[in-house]
Amino acid sequence: MVKFLVGLATLASIAFADITFNCIGYPAPGNSIGVSINGVITKLAALENTAPVWTGVVPGATSAVQYSYVEINAANTPVKTEAFVRKLNQTTDIATDNEFFDRPITHHVVPRLPYTYLATYPSKSKAFKETQIATLHLTGDKPAIDKLNASPETDGAEVRVNFRFINAKTIYSQRNITLKTSGKSSKEFAKQSYKIKFDTDFNQTFFSRPNLKLRSMATEPTYLREKLYIDTLNAVGVPTQQGSYVRLFINNEPYGLYLMVDDIKKSFAKQTVHGGDDLIIPGSLIQANAPTLSEQADLAYKGPLSAAYGKETYISQNLGNNLVTEPLSQLITLMKDLQDFDPVATPDPLVYWNNRIDLDGFLRNMALEYLFGGFDNYWMAGSNYFIYFNPTLGTSGKWQWLPTDFDGTFGNGAEIDPLGSYKTLYNFTPDHPLVSKLIIKNAAINALFNTIIKEIVSTTFKPEAMNPHIEALNKMISLDAAWDFTLPRKSPGKNPGFTFDDFNNNLVNITKDMSGAIKPWIAARANTTSVELQFTIPAGTADRVPPPPRKGGNGDDDDDASPEGGNASSDGVSVRAVGSVMVVVAMVASSLLLA
């Protein structure tokens, strides 16, 4: 059988075939996309159910074909030709991937971060591919979308749009989904962030990820801060929003490069915390914010009634075991226990906290807040996290920390000294007692925190591990970032005016509006902690624990291997094998016809 296939493959590699070309393109109105092979142009077509993917078959092209895409005008004259030549990925291919016009690389190579701790991993989903930049093609009522962009702060404003997601192997469409602007301070920017919602009650789905945010990354120039934080959370075993880059177009207008992340709702608990398990009934999920400087989700106890806690400070996203009239009851019990906890006198502090919260998870989160200088999260601002009562932890459930919004890091937002000790960072008004009482003032938990910092810095958060990842991501998004910085924005509001120079330079130098630069920040923090906690950072990029196993999920991650999991999923392998056998057979069939 193996011999037989090898024979066929050899035959196929010299055979003529019909090759299908697929180019994602947004030519000027009236123009089209074509493929140019040895100077001969074949016009491609964008069909109703696949546009903006332009497709066409060129008969008799060999699998060694070299080609470029061209934009052609109504008279079929090229007006723009790609300045590079493309080749098929495999000599057995009879179709190209969906390839974006003028972007030479579709599959990038990004070395992953080494794993410090093992995590349960989210259910499989095609939504987040680490090494591709997908295209999001939305269409909808133009006046309604213009209005949404013109007044992003209008509460509850939303429009219905048709959605199309395109990556190398997938075109996925869904009609009539909800688009909103997203965030709070994000709405003050000229480049808006958005939310996308698929209504599962109406059978709308998107690879098991019905709630998404499109993060504009408008507050910082590298477009890497949030992504690096997410990747590091994954490497230290914290269940988190996944994030991958997408190009956003609405009604054929370019909006720019975005980071598509999970929006944390009930479905997130199911797909990410519980790995897609349908049988688990999610517990209480509370979104915690700081609507003003004095009104923070600090977890300070303010009495037994939900009404005493700011409506915008603690927002129930899933009731769990609470009554509609008292949505915060269970969390209030935790806040009371935190108030009652005496960091010096309470016996068995580790038992006290391990019974109530996922203590390791919380400490890993706080370690990253400190290491990245997250000025707008719990440690420093009492903001930007979710707290989830995970019914599967311990004997009857425990609270689990789910962080969010990581752009305010590495010196974006507030000036934080990367050489400063964490021990100087607790004297806040209001106090953040889950940090001050546990991490700063309790000796046993402090020792645990120090161990966690040491393990993370020794494995993941050190220049040798982070820099290759940073450089590969910077390279991967480079052309799209350059494009993004040239685009007109759609909303009133702030435009910080970052440039492509800032995009590159802020990796190493302090640039406009930033008080830190990413690589020197990591070097300084890693070094500071190793000096303070007296350990030597080992050389190398070895995993401390093996990569996490992938969950079976709904089996919709079948078009390529997961770069995170280390090994290809068995689904991915089998699908690809079937694909190439079919290709070979098709080619042999056509060569038999020729003979």
Ligand X SMILES: *[C@@H]1O[C@H](CO)[C@@H](O)[C@H](O)[C@H]1NC(C)=O
The answer to whether residues 527 and 417 touch, using CB atoms and an 8 Å cutoff, is: no
* The only residue of 154, 509, 570, 574 in contact with ligand X, by rule CB under 6 A: 509
Instruction: Indicate the Cα dihedral angle 151, 157, 161, 167, nearest 10°.
Output: 70
Q: How far is the CB of 420 from ligand X (least distance, A)?
A: 12
Q: Which residue minimizes CB distance to ligand X?
A: 107
Q: How many residues bind ligand X, per CB under 6 A?
A: 19
Q: How far is the CB of 198 from ligand X (least distance, A)?
A: 9
Exposed e or buried b per residue across 424-452, where buried means at least 16 C-beta atoms within 10 angstroms of its C-beta: ebbeeeebbbbbbbbbbbbeebbebbbeb
Residue 292 interacts with ligand X (CB under 6 A): yes or no: no
In the numeric block, which tokens belong to residue 79?
A: 């007006």
DSSP secondary structure letters along 174-193 = EEEEEEEE--SGGGGBSS--
The most distant pair of C-alpha atoms in the chain lies apart, rounded to whole Å, by 89
* The only residue of 45, 84, 107, 141 in contact with ligand X, by rule CB under 6 A: 107
Residue 111 interacts with ligand X (CB under 6 A): yes or no: no
DSSP 412: B
Residues in 45-104 that interact with ligand X by CB under 6 A: 89
Q: How far is the CB of 103 from ligand X (least distance, A)?
A: 12
**Window 535-554: contact mask with ligand X (x via CB under 6 A):** -----------xx-------
Residue 484 interacts with ligand X (CB under 6 A): yes or no: no
Q: How far is the CB of 52 from ligand X (least distance, A)?
A: 20
Among residues 534, 233, 247, 567, which one has the least CA distance to residue 400?
233
* The only residue of 2, 38, 83, 203 in contact with ligand X, by rule CB under 6 A: 203
* The only residue of 36, 63, 106, 240 in contact with ligand X, by rule CB under 6 A: 106
Q: How far is the CB of 419 from ligand X (least distance, A)?
A: 7
Measured distance CA(528)–CA(419) in Å, rounded: 6
Residue 156 interacts with ligand X (CB under 6 A): yes or no: no
Measured distance CA(407)–CA(438) in Å, rounded: 26
* The only residue of 566, 579, 588, 591 in contact with ligand X, by rule CB under 6 A: 566
Q: How far is the CB of 186 from ligand X (least distance, A)?
A: 24
Measured distance CA(371)–CA(196) in Å, rounded: 31
Residue 210 interacts with ligand X (CB under 6 A): yes or no: no
Q: How far is the CB of 501 from ligand X (least distance, A)?
A: 7
For residue 77, give every residue at least 6 positions away whose Cβ sits within 8 Å of its Cβ, in sequence order, or none: none
Segment contacting ligand X by CB under 6 A, of 44-52, 289-297, 324-332, 505-513: 505-513
Q: How far is the CB of 246 from ligand X (least distance, A)?
A: 18
For residue 128, give every residue at least 6 positions away whose Cβ sits within 8 Å of its Cβ, in sequence order, or none: 209, 242, 243, 244, 260
Q: How far is the CB of 100 from ligand X (least distance, A)?
A: 13
Q: How many CB atoms lie within 10 A of CB 83?
A: 8
Residue 176 interacts with ligand X (CB under 6 A): yes or no: yes
Measured distance CA(336)–CA(354) in Å, rounded: 16
Segment contacting ligand X by CB under 6 A, of 110-118, 199-207, 286-294, 436-444: 199-207
Phi, psi of 299 (to 5 degrees): 70, 20
Q: Which is nearer to ligand X, 61 or 438 (CB)?
A: 61
Residue 146 interacts with ligand X (CB under 6 A): yes or no: no
Instruction: Indicate the Cα dihedral angle 42, 46, 52, 57, nearest 10°.
Output: -40
* The only residue of 199, 340, 342, 415 in contact with ligand X, by rule CB under 6 A: 199
The one-letter amino acid at 513? D
Assign 3-class secondary structure to 447-494. Answer: HHHHHHHHHHHHHCCCHHHHHHHHHHHHHHHHHHHHHHHHCCCCCCCE
The answer to whether residues 129 and 169 touch, using CB atoms and an 8 Å cutoff, is: no
* The only residue of 447, 531, 573, 585 in contact with ligand X, by rule CB under 6 A: 531
* The only residue of 527, 541, 580, 591 in contact with ligand X, by rule CB under 6 A: 527
Q: How far is the CB of 178 from ligand X (least distance, A)?
A: 7
Segment contacting ligand X by CB under 6 A, of 60-68, 196-204, 352-360, 480-488: 196-204
Binding stretches for ligand X (CB under 6 A):
89, 106-107, 160, 176, 199, 202-203, 505, 508-509, 523, 527, 531, 546-547, 560, 566-567
